[in-house]
Every structure is written in structure tokens, then in C-alpha cells.
Structure 1
Amino acid sequence: MSPHSLARIAVVGAGGIGAAAHLPAVVSLSEEAELVAIVDLDETRRAEAGERFGCRNLYGDMAVMQAEQRPDIVIVATPPHLHEPLSIQAMRAGAWVYCEKPLTGSLASADRIIAAERETGQWTVSVSQFRYAGGSQQARAALADGRWGRPLIGVAHTTWYRGPEYWDIPWRGKFATEFAGATTTQAYHAVDLLLWLMGGDWRTVSGIADTLARPIEVEDASAAVVRFDSGAIATLLSTVLSSKQETRLQVIAERATLDLDTLYLPQVDEWSLRRVDEEGQTVVSSEWPEPEPLLEVNAHRSQLRAMIAAWREGRVPEVTAADARGTLEFLTALYKSSAVGMPIARGDIAAGDPFYEALDAAGPSRAGVNAHV
């Protein structure tokens, strides 16, 4: 490919996150990318998206689109149960894939995507917008360099509100199509960001996941305690039942405490750093974080831009399926811990384990018990 060629991008899924984030991200990168097609089963939705984003190539079938347009990158912005088949289909047709979270619904499925990467020589990148949001890259670099000493304690609390009407959309709230609930659907990015900032080397997780109030199959709340290989510990709380909506992340390192207080997308001015001075007083650092340009659209744009650069340079992109598998394994271990009432270690869930085949393999049984909710 020419180092100056535009990446030809097709978006599959023109509603929800496709229209809100992915399509705006593509058209905002006009010097690096070209929107060559929109795919959606709903004719009205794809027509509206085509008009809004200036795309004439509209399809109801991805295979037809790929045969005619030959995109370099396919963005999969569909309900979760379609992620695996569409990602593999796109790679086998010669495209890289940028896939919404969760990448897929089981470790078995993630391993099939990884196998397809090896088979085709293409890559599937999992959306991880908190890693690319304002301040996050600075935080990761400083923690990885030991600027504030070793990370000792982590906190990730996602306390959002979703009323019962949120699940009126048929695929939401069901194991067959959404795979899991608040921990995976709403809190995924905060969980992923915390694991990444802490070094990614989680060792064990002890968790509780349950459906406390919403009329859904999947969980609406969870809590967990995590141990890392480094000896660090962390706590997580994820729910869609809170009237005080916030996303709170904290990393307590040896010489400073890093805080993020946000809701749906971190901005650089939502991060803060505190130290204890020589007099024993807590002071807020004025030196960190450094100012950053405002995101022109959203963090999907930042990650897509990084992916396009990797595609153009012929190198491995960030947050491939293997990387996303680490977060999926963590979530699976949390659900299994809740089911069996004991900590689950990384690497414990393998082929032959029901949890290898489903994020929350015990969820359907729990849903039956909670049918009164």
C-alpha cells in the first residue's frame, strides 16, 4: 500500500454506537480515511446514515459490500452476538477489523478470532476508548515508567443508571445476544482501563454478580476484589442502579495518588494527581496532567487513527484480539467466582470448562432464580 493512500473504511451497523461514534470518527479523518460503504439490515437506518455522513454505497449484506468495495478496514458496530462471525468474515475477505466491545462473548470465541487472525494475516482490534481518551495515555506512560513508584491499590467504580425502558431494545439484557450485563456492557471500559494502568498482570479475582432490581437476564450489579502478580490489589464496583451517575478510577502508587472522576468518556481535566508534601499535607500537583488538544469527535477517533497508522505502516496494531482476551478472561473469572463462591486465578478457565464457552455460564440459572425481579 502507498504510505499516502487513504484507508478505505466500511461501517457495519448504522444505529446506536455506529451513528454516534464510529461514523463521525471516520468522516473526521478525511485526510487519512475514506468512508466507502455503510452496511445495515434496516433500509431506513442505512439511508439516513448515508445522507448524514455523505456515503452513497449502502448495503444490507456485508458479503456483497466486501465483494464490491474491497475495504481495507471494516468497523463492526453491531449487537455483540454478531461480532465474532462478522469479524472473521471481514478478515477472510482481506480487511482489518475495528470491533465494538465486548469483542465477543466467550474465551472460546476470542480464540476463534485469534485463530482467524493467524489464518488470514489480518487483525481484529477491539474498541477500548478509555485507553485513548484524554489523559489516559499520559497516565499509562507515567505509571509504566515508575514516575510515582509502584502501583499499590486500584479502584474502578462504574455507577450508572439505566431505567427498565433501556432494555426495550430486543437484544439487550439477554444472554444470547448481549452475553452479560453491567460489568461487561457498561463498566467494560473502566475495568479495561484499570487493568491496563495497573500493568495488566492480574492474578486472581473474587467477585459477586447478581440481578438485584432490573427485569433482565443479565446482572445489574457486581463487586470484585483483585490481586495482581506485583502484589497490588484493586476493588471494582459496577452497576446500572445508581441515581448518582459517575465513573471513578483511582490508582494509589508509592509516591502519589492518581484520580479520574468522569462519566462516559475521560477528559484530560478530569484527572488529578495528589502527593503528600514534607509537612504531611496533601497537595494537588500542578505539573500533571499536561494539557492536550480537545478530542475532535471522541476517543473512537483517536484509536481508529492509531489503527490506520499501523495499517499503513504494516505493523501490529494495539489492542488486538489477544490483548482484548485478557480483559475478557478477567470478566469471565469474575462471573465464575460469583458462581462458585471462591477466587479464580488467571489461566484456570480452559477448554472443557463451561465458562470457556460463555462469559457468564451460570447466568441463565441465576436468571431463573431471579425471575421475580
Structure 2
Amino acid sequence: MTLSRPLRAAIVGTGGIAEVCHIPALRAEAHRVELVAAVDVDPRRLADFQARTGVRHGYTTVEEMLARRRPDLVHVCTPPAAHVDAVVASLAAGAWVLVEKPPCRSLAEFDRIEAAERPGGPYASVVYQHRFGSGARHAAELIRRGELGRPLVALCQTTWFRGPEYFDVPWRGRWSTEGGGPTLGHGIHQMDLLLALLGEWTEVSAMAGRLERAVETEDVSVASVRFASGALASVVNSVLSPDEVSRLRIDLTEATVEVTHLYGHRNADWRYTPAPSVVDAARPLAWASPSADVPSSHGAQLTLVLDAMERGERPPVSGDQGRETLELITALYRSALTGAVVRRDQLDPADPFYHRLHGDIPGWAPSGED
């Protein structure tokens, strides 16, 4: 895409994530992209958003915005049930897309998104910002080069707290509107970072529970994941944990690498511990933090999306790369709700979990419930 002018961007959905995360990211790239429009089905909420952010043009439908403003880039920040239609309509209109997590409610919906993309663009990139902080990219490169040895075992923890009032919002906690519980809506970030560091997974065994919140979905899940490398990982997702933390730890043959944070990390949040054999041999360590300290953020990812747009290339975490985390989550739900070990090659259109994360199991009740 040859740029003779700043790119035109639009935001669809004017809730908190749009204002807190997407607006600052766009402002940081104001020399390359201009926010020209916002869309929300609620006219009052839309007007308030425009007054606070200075966005000139407001619309209550995606279709009118696309026809009137013809944006180059659309940020989709709606509740999950509205993602796929907004993304597909934007791609059909020739706009690239940055879509909030979860990108959609099922692999079937994700495949609708992929089918709407075209070679050379437009493409849809999923907001998985944690893999784009400098600390994460540094760790991924060290692991890829074998600097830390062979991956053996990992712990992936998203233990957050969301009180009962959080689920008073009508679309939350329901299969039809949110798509899933904390496995899909919260733990997705750390699981994506896990995949960015360890690569392809092969099988999952999981359990889920609805232990405390009055929701249709789970409020906790745990899983064991095997990777193609042979490494094993334990994954925990919760919205019942007063001591909130996001943590990822990977033990390799020559070091442990760990990041502990909550909603975003910087270089200082990463810690490397050499194995005794490395220390005893007085080997030089090539694990120093990168010189730049780029926090994991929407801004870090937006920069890469804009770079890809300028080159006419597929952006990070789109296509197969954007799909892989949703595949892992689908397998986790399938295992938790059926009690079976799930392999990656089982997730095809003949599987009901390909279409809905609860697999159409009537009246699903987690283990331990009547």
C-alpha cells in the first residue's frame, strides 16, 4: 500500500477497551494514521465518546460508516458476538482490521473471517498484544535460537477476580453472546504468549468448573497441554482469584524464564535463572534484556500492523497464526466438556465444538454440579 496520505481509521464499539487502549495506540501513530470515525449502536454512548476523544464522524451502523468514510483500517472493539459480522463487512469494503480478543466465538466464525481476506490485503489481525512487548520478543528469540536449551515444562496462569456485578452486563457469562468464560475471554492472552514461545501444540486434557458465579459458562478451567517439541504445560484460568496475577514460566534444560505481571509487561517483569550446570561451567550468558523497553501494548502491535499495511503483507497474528490460540481454546473446552483428550487434528467442521465452544451439549454442568 503506497501512502500518499495518512491512513484513515475507524473504531467500531466505543466501550472501555476502545478508549483506554485503542485511542492511545492510534494517537501514538498520528503521523501515519488518522482516526476519522466511530460506530456504536447506542447514539448517546457514541456522542459521549466523540466528545471525549474528538472523533468527528459518528455512525450507528458499520455499513453506513464503511460507505461514507471508506476507512483503510477498522478497529473492532464490540462485544464478541458482534465481531465476525463487523470484521467481514470491513474486509469486504477493502479495510484492514484489528479485532479485539477473542476474535470470535468459534473456529467456524474465524474461518469466515479468513475467507473474507484477499492476497496482499486486506487482512484481519487479532489483538494479542502480550507477544509484542520487547521482553516477550526477546524471550521468543532466545528460545528459537536454543540459547536456553530445550523446553521441558511450563506454567501458564491467568488468575483474576471478577465479582458478581461484573456479570450484570447482559452479554457476559453467556455462550451465545460472550462465547465462553475466562478461558476464552481472559486467559486467551497468556495462552497466546505461551504459544508464541513454545510453538505448536499437539494435545490437550482439561477440566472446567462453574464454582461461584451465576453464569452459563465456566468460571475456572485447568488444562494440561503437550507441545510438538515434547514440552508439557499446565494452564489455569480463573475469575475467582482475589490475588490477581498473570504469570508464565518455562523451564528449559539450561534456564528458567518467567514473566509475572497483570495486564501488561515490561522488560523488568521478565526473569532468567540459569541451570546449575550453566553456572558451574561459568558459561557466558546471552540473556540480557533488549536495549529497547517496549511494553506489551496495543500500540506495539498497531505499529506492526501499519508496517504490514505499507508493505502489503500479512500482519502478525492473522490467518493461521491468529487461529492457533483459538484452536487451543477450542480443544480445551472440548476436553473439559467431554472428558476426552483432544488432539489438534480433531478440530474440523464435523465436530460440534468447531461451531460452538460448548459443543451443543444441552444443560452443560461442570463436574461436581447437579
TM normalised by structure 2 equals 0.93
Residues 172, 178 of structure 1: 8 Å contact kept: yes
**Whole-Å Cα distance in 2 between the matches of residues 161 and 282 of structure 1?**
43
In structure 2, relative to structure 1, the CA distance for the partners of 1:61 and 1:282 (3 Å cut) is: farther
Partner of 1:330 in structure 2? 328
Matched residue SS, 2:130? helix
After superposition, give the CA deviation of every residue in 1:281-332 in whole Å (9 maximum; x if it has no partner).
999x79522343454xx61111111101100111111111322211111111
Residues 130, 265 of structure 1: 8 Å contact kept: yes
After superposition, give the CA deviation of every residue in 1:129-149 in whole Å (9 maximum; x if it has no partner).
111234111111111111111
In structure 2, relative to structure 1, the CA distance for the partners of 1:142 and 1:287 (3 Å cut) is: closer
Partner of 2:237 in structure 1? 238
Shift of 1:121: 4.3
Partner of 2:137 in structure 1? 137
**Whole-Å Cα distance in 2 between the matches of residues 268 and 371 of structure 1?**
43
Residues 157, 247 of structure 1: 8 Å contact kept: yes
Residues 294, 300 of structure 2: 8 Å contact kept: no
Alignment of 1:236-275 (within 5 A): 236-275=235-274
Alignment of 1:191-230 (within 5 A): 191-199=191-199, 201-230=200-229
Matched residue SS, 1:219? coil
**Whole-Å Cα distance in 1 between the matches of residues 87 and 201 of structure 2?**
27
Residues 217, 364 of structure 1: 8 Å contact kept: no
Residue identity in the other structure for 2:249: Q
Alignment of 1:101-140 (within 5 A): 101-118=101-118, 121-140=121-140
After superposition, give the CA deviation of every residue in 1:157-197 in whole Å (9 maximum; x if it has no partner).
11111100001111111111000001111111001100110
Residues 27, 53 of structure 1: 8 Å contact kept: no
**Whole-Å Cα distance in 1 between the matches of residues 150 and 181 of structure 2?**
32
Shift of 1:369: 9.2
Residues 251, 258 of structure 1: 8 Å contact kept: yes
Alignment of 1:287-366 (within 5 A): 287-293=287-293, 295=295, 299-361=297-359, 365-366=363-364
Partner of 2:34 in structure 1? 34
**Whole-Å Cα distance in 2 between the matches of residues 76 and 152 of structure 1?**
37
Structure 2 residues not aligned, in runs of 5+? none
**Whole-Å Cα distance in 1 between the matches of residues 261 and 305 of structure 2?**
25
Give the stretch that moved more between structures: 350-359 or 218-227. 350-359
Partner of 1:81 in structure 2? 81
Residues 159, 240 of structure 1: 8 Å contact kept: yes
**Whole-Å Cα distance in 2 between the matches of residues 118 and 314 of structure 1?**
11
Matched residue SS, 2:345? coil
Residue identity in the other structure for 1:31: H
Shift of 1:363: 6.2
Structure 1 residues not aligned, in runs of 5+? none
Shift of 1:118: 3.9
Matched residue SS, 1:58? strand
After superposition, give the CA deviation of every residue in 1:235-278 in whole Å (9 maximum; x if it has no partner).
10110111111011001111110011111111211101001345
Give the stretch that moved more between structures: 321-330 or 85-94. 321-330
In structure 2, relative to structure 1, the CA distance for the partners of 1:122 and 1:2 (3 Å cut) is: closer
**Whole-Å Cα distance in 2 between the matches of residues 349 and 294 of structure 1?**
36
Residue identity in the other structure for 2:349: A
Over aligned residue pairs, what C-alpha RMSD do you find?
Answer: 2.3
TM normalised by structure 1 equals 0.93
In structure 2, relative to structure 1, the CA distance for the partners of 1:120 and 1:133 (3 Å cut) is: closer
Residue identity in the other structure for 2:67: A
Residue identity in the other structure for 1:213: E
In structure 2, relative to structure 1, the CA distance for the partners of 1:286 and 1:321 (3 Å cut) is: closer
Residues 246, 263 of structure 1: 8 Å contact kept: yes
Give the stretch that moved more between structures: 149-158 or 274-283. 274-283
**Whole-Å Cα distance in 1 between the matches of residues 362 and 302 of structure 2?**
35
Give the stretch that moved more between structures: 245-254 or 21-30. 21-30
Give the stretch that moved more between structures: 45-54 or 92-101. 45-54
Give the stretch that moved more between structures: 362-371 or 71-80. 362-371
Give the stretch that moved more between structures: 187-196 or 37-46. 37-46
Matched residue SS, 1:206? strand
Q: How many residues align?
A: 368
Residue identity in the other structure for 1:52: R
